[in-house]
Amino acid sequence: MSRALFTKHYATPVHAARAVRHYRWIDGHAKPMRQPDLHAIGPDSLTFERVEGRCVGPEDLPRMAELLGHAHGAAWRSDLQSASVRTPHHFHDGTPFDDYLGLRQLALRRRHEQGYLPNTEALDAMLALLHETAHEPFAFYKDSNPRNFIITTAGDIVTVDTDDLSLAPMGYDLAKLIATLHLTYGPLADRAVNDALFAYNEAAGGYGAQLGATDRRRLDDFLTLHAVLTAPYIGHNGYRWSLLLHLQGTP
């Protein structure tokens, strides 16, 4: 009996090739993340094993935090120990990783142009915060939002969508998951966030003591950055609750 398949189409062959490169890197260096089997590579499409299940919800945050901690720790041990904000990091084929600062500096300036940062002082403050968070050890960012993970009927967590992959400090992608759970389901309890951070640090710290050191202040810094970076998506793709207004204390 043949297995059900899913074909994803990309705007250009370059985009498809990026997704393959990211998929293979995760498969080689972040083994704790299970991905659907990749069955075929077309010029501008990829065909995967179809995975049935549901998207991640707030109740899954502890398991997801632990998974991300293991994945980030494994990737650091396998490939990212030499990654630095000052030195380009490369995939096995010589293609450079997208860096942490460059992409986000451009995005923050775009948010200012779009009106999500009210003035240049606010932009400067966000750029300064971005630079303040750019500390080693580095993990990776894979856009951890609820739709990029599927929990199967057997309870397994499967990671989907390898379109985005860049270097990021430990804890940054966990903050993205927390931020997008807020955007989708509303504010999370403070205890739930703290428990998730503890689970993440416990898992990551097993790969190196320095990897389990993300504290709540740093996590909140990451959440502030994500609040601005995700602001244009409110009202789209199931995002209904503004994290930016929540952090600003606006009801």
Confidence of residue 228 (pLDDT cuts 50, 70, 90): very high
How does residue 33 score in pLDDT terms, banded at 50, 70 and 90?
Answer: very high
Looking at residue 85, its pLDDT comes to: 84
What is the residue type of 134? A
Residue 129 three-state SS:
helix
Tokens of 213: 């050191």
Match 């932009």 to its residue by tokens: 123
Report the C-alpha gap between 166 and 128 in whole angstroms: 20
Q: Which of 5, 1, 71 is closest to 36 using CA atoms?
A: 5
Helices (H) and strands (E) in the chain, counts: 8, 8
Q: What is the mean pLDDT of residues 83-93?
A: 88
CA 82 – CA 248 distance, rounded (Å): 37
| 196, 62 contact by CB (below 8 A) | yes
Rounded Cα gap, residues 49 and 44, in angstroms: 17
Across 173-192, b (16+ Cβ under 10 Å) vs e yields: bbbbbbbbbbbbeeeeeeeb
Calpha distance 236→239 (Å, rounded): 6
Q: Does pLDDT of 53 surpass 50? A: yes
Single out the residue of 123, 32, 10, 24 nearest to residue 76, CA to CA: 32
Is the separation of the CB atoms in 203 and 193 below 8 Å? Answer: no
Which one, of 130, 105, 103, 132, lies nearest residue 225 by Cα?
Answer: 130
Say if residue 86's pLDDT is above 90: no
Supply the pLDDT for residue 249. Answer: 65
The span from the CA of 163 to the CA of 238, in Å, is 19
Which domains are delineated in the chain? 52-247 (3.90.1200.10)
- In this prediction, residue 143 has a pLDDT band, given cuts at 50, 70 and 90, of very high
Q: What was the pLDDT predicted at 107?
A: 97
More confident residue, 62 or 249: 62
pLDDT at 250 over 60: no
- pLDDT for position 2: 54
Question: Residue 22's closest CA among 182, 159, 226?
Answer: 159
